[in-house]
Amino acid sequence: MLAKVKTKKFLKQLVFLIDIILALSLSIINLNSTISNNLYMVFFGLVPLAIINTYFIGWKYIERTYFEIFKWKRIGMNFLVFASTQISLIYSLIEIIYYLNHGDHLELHLIEIPIFVIIFVKIGDLINDYIKSKIGNDLKKIQSLQSKNAFLLRNEEYIKVNVNQISAGDIIKVPIGYSVPMDGILISKQALVDSQLINGENHGLEISYKDNVFAGMRNMGEEFSIEATGLVKDNLINKMVKKINQIQTEKKGIQTIVDRVLLWFTPVVLVLSILGFFISYFFFENGSFLLSLKVSITVLVSACPCAIGLATPLAILIGASRAAKKGVIFNKPESFSKLHKITTVVFDKTGTLTKGEIEVKDYIGDEKYLPIIGSFQLNIKHPIASGIINYLNKKNIDCNIKLRQIDTDFLAFTYLDDHYQIIKYSNFKSAGLAPEINFRQTTNTSSLLFKNENLVAQIFFEDKLREGVDDKIQELMGQGFKVVMITGDNIGVAKKVAISLKIKHVYANMTPDKKLLLIKEMQMNGEKVLFAGDGLNDALAIKQADLSIAVINKSTYLDLDADIALLDSKISLIVDTINEVKNTKKIIYSNLFWAFTYNLIIIPLALFGVLSPHIGMLAMFLSSILVLLNSLFFKMRK
């Protein structure tokens, strides 16, 4: 089947190449001879070639014109190609019929128009298709690197199966050196993986029990097992590819404006074409029907808005694919138009400015409570829970105690008829509860364990700043952004981080509702807010922000709801994302600037007879090629 498709594609390209060679050869002969003395070239060369180009090679433009007029109820850019080729060909055929009936001197002034209009437009389409296919091949290459098979647990033994046979809840073994075949959660104590396929980082990534594991990660350490969380189509990589393919068809932001312009552009060109006919016929010296028709057709072929139509979607597609290689997913095309309005960048501290890899720094209390605490943390998806489990694993403390009445919302549970609850240090202070054992006041994150309302233990945590975060924050401030940090931690922790990063605007003890209210307040004051967070308790803020960036990491997995999703939580990637959006917008605007400037110059020249149809065709072709090359250079740029 694939061989047939390749053969068919090759034959089409061969026919088109022969068509170009014949067109150029016949045109050269036409320039150096009188047509009336070379009727064989007319009847067996130019006319058949014009008909073949118009109705065979150019059939898709006729088909598109039909859909534009009768299905979509509008006149688009394909109508200009259709009108210019049909009028030129029909007029040339009338000239031939007149010559055959009257035997007069034959001059075919417009016979080459349908030939070369189709050739030029087709070449532009081929270059556009080539760029898109290169992007598509890059994406297919990423998908092809995923494992096709997996070791599935069945009847207490692992069997090799195709990944399509796996469903949510299945247990999969990942041997040393093998790639993870499915998205899932780690059910082994720990693992070391190479995540380069996911986020471009080729160093080892340590993951712990209950952390997310994504298809395409490669096992660099000991054998481990995962529990699949969905089907193969639900894998993050497949979602990435789907998003990139969808983004070029979604028409929002800049593309919506361009589409509105194009909606009026073609009718205006048609009016100008008719106007050009009458101006040349009644006001030009030596005005004639043929001269007027040439002016009219020149306007049509010169003003083909192909460059305008290509300017935005191609740049967005290239920008999205470039970003995907770095682990950035643009979920919504309007992200590219939203950024220039942003005045304020709001960071959620944990997991964004800090590593989000919580470490236990100290513990106060009887160690008999550690297995109880650890067993409860196994039910929670949170960086703090992962930090506690890692701490207990290093101390070789078993966390398989059976708890009852587990409430993960209020962090409460029952064990041996005793009621336990874990309360954040900041909430403990605000609740005004009196401790029955000594506890340590701290500026670090801390949690308290209560047993039957008696304070029995205190755990201290630390979350280190990300490498290079201070430089990136200063870079954002240097670009004119107001930088704000919000956190659920107490004011002591917040100020400590803010001072080290020189961030002036800090908000502590922020619940999800408070984050939402803060962003609303900023927006009411005229600020346009970009919110960046790891998705944990950030859903409301992400939805409210003018532009949202969500971090997908090993501890949290926010489905692709934000405007932009990052597969690596480095602060540098957030700044790089902002710069990538800016670069994409520059390409879009430079493409649009050239496309509109070209039309503003070329249409008046065509309207007043300065250009011939042949020069008009060439100018139209070059304008489209310039936009395509500009986009291609953007794709190749590092």
**Which of these, 81, 92, 88, lies nearest to 118 by C-alpha position?**
81
Asked whether the beta carbons of 21 and 9 are under 8 A apart, the reply is no
Q: How does pLDDT run across 273-328, given as a tens digit for each residue?
A: 999 899 888 887 777 888 888 888 888 888 866 777 777 777 777 877 777 777 78
Helices and strands: H and E segment counts in the chain: 21, 22
pLDDT at 115 exceeding the cut of 70: yes
Backbone angles phi, psi at 102, to 5 degrees: -115, -15
Give the end-to-end CA distance of the chain in Å, rounded to a whole number.
Answer: 37
Q: How does pLDDT run across 485-542, given as a tens digit for each residue?
A: 998 777 877 888 888 888 999 998 888 888 899 999 999 999 999 998 876 567 788 8
- β-sheet with 404-407: strand ranges across: 359-365, 454-462, 445-451, 418-424, 412-415, 404-407
pLDDT at 49 exceeding the cut of 70: yes
Backbone angles phi, psi at 446, to 5 degrees: -150, 150
Mean pLDDT of 50-61: 86
Mean pLDDT check: name the lowest of 108-117, 173-182, 412-421. 108-117
Mean pLDDT of 580-606: 84
> 254-283 and 77-102 are packed helices; what angle lies between their axes, rounded to 10 degrees?
30
pLDDT at 560 exceeding the cut of 60: no
Mean pLDDT of 338-355: 83
pLDDT at 119 exceeding the cut of 50: yes
Q: How does pLDDT run across 353-370, given as a tens digit for each residue?
A: 887 677 888 888 888 889
Strand partners of residue 190 = 208
- The helix or strand, by DSSP H or E, that contains position 482, with its residue range, turns out to be strand 482-486
pLDDT at 116 exceeding the cut of 90: no
**Both tokens assigned to 286:** 């030596």
- The upper half-sphere exposure of residue 431, i.e. CA atoms within 13 Å in the direction of its Cβ, equals 11
Q: How does pLDDT run across 60-93, given as a tens digit for each residue?
A: 889 988 988 888 888 877 888 888 889 888 888 8
Name the pLDDT band for 24 (thresholds 50, 70, 90). low
List, in order, residues 6 or more apart from 342 with CB less than 8 Å away.
481, 528, 529, 530, 546, 547
**Both tokens assigned to 272:** 């100008």
Q: Report the chain's mean pLDDT, rounded to a whole number.
A: 79
Domains along the sequence of the chain with CATH: 18-142+244-317+584-636 (no CATH), 149-232 (2.70.150.10), 318-354+465-583 (3.40.50.1000), 359-462 (3.40.1110.10)
List, in order, residues 6 or more apart from 478 with CB less than 8 Å away.
none
- Alpha helices per DSSP H over 103-214: 112-144, 196-199
Buried b (16+ CB within 10 A) or exposed e, 479-509: eebbbbbbbbbbeebbeebbeebebeebbbb
CB atoms near residue 615 (< 10 Å): 16
The residue to which tokens 């016979």 are assigned: 111
Asked whether the beta carbons of 181 and 172 are under 8 A apart, the reply is yes
**Which of these, 195, 181, 196, lies nearest to 226 by C-alpha position?**
181
Q: How does pLDDT run across 424-468, given as a tens digit for each residue?
A: 766 665 444 545 445 566 556 778 888 888 888 888 887 778 778
Predicted confidence at residue 344, as pLDDT, reads: 93
**Cα distance between residue 311 and residue 594, in whole Å:** 9
Calculate what percentage of the chain has a pLDDT beyond 70. 80
CB atoms near residue 416 (< 10 Å): 8
**Both tokens assigned to 335:** 């992200």
Predicted confidence at residue 505, as pLDDT, reads: 92
**Which of these, 161, 175, 173, lies nearest to 232 by C-alpha position?**
161
Would you mind telling me the total number of residues written for the chain in this entry?
Answer: 638
Q: How does pLDDT run across 222-258, given as a tens digit for each residue?
A: 889 999 988 888 887 787 777 776 666 655 555 566 6
**Both tokens assigned to 487:** 């956190």
Name the pLDDT band for 36 (thresholds 50, 70, 90). very low
- Whole-number Cα distances in Å, 126 to 51, 78, 542, 630: 21, 16, 40, 16
Asked whether the beta carbons of 208 and 189 are under 8 A apart, the reply is yes
Predicted confidence at residue 532, as pLDDT, reads: 87
pLDDT at 407 exceeding the cut of 60: yes
For strands 547-551 and 564-566, give the pairing.
parallel
pLDDT at 329 exceeding the cut of 50: yes
Predicted confidence at residue 390, as pLDDT, reads: 84
Backbone angles phi, psi at 83, to 5 degrees: -65, -45
Predicted confidence at residue 430, as pLDDT, reads: 44
Predicted confidence at residue 518, as pLDDT, reads: 93
Q: How does pLDDT run across 189-205, given as a tens digit for each residue?
A: 888 888 777 666 666 77
**Cα distance between residue 111 and residue 147, in whole Å:** 56
What is the torsional sign of CA 304, 77, 79, 30?
A: positive
* Of the ranges 163-177, 234-248, 282-296, 401-415, the best mean pLDDT one: 163-177
Q: Is this structure's pTM higher than 0.75? A: no
pLDDT at 212 exceeding the cut of 80: yes
Pairwise pLDDT comparison (20 vs 332), residue with the higher score: 332
Asked whether the beta carbons of 374 and 397 are under 8 A apart, the reply is yes
**Which of these, 538, 532, 628, 512, lies nearest to 339 by C-alpha position?**
532
Mean pLDDT of 152-159: 86
Q: How does pLDDT run across 93-109, given as a tens digit for each residue?
A: 887 787 777 766 666 66
3-state secondary structure of 190: strand
3-state secondary structure of 215: coil
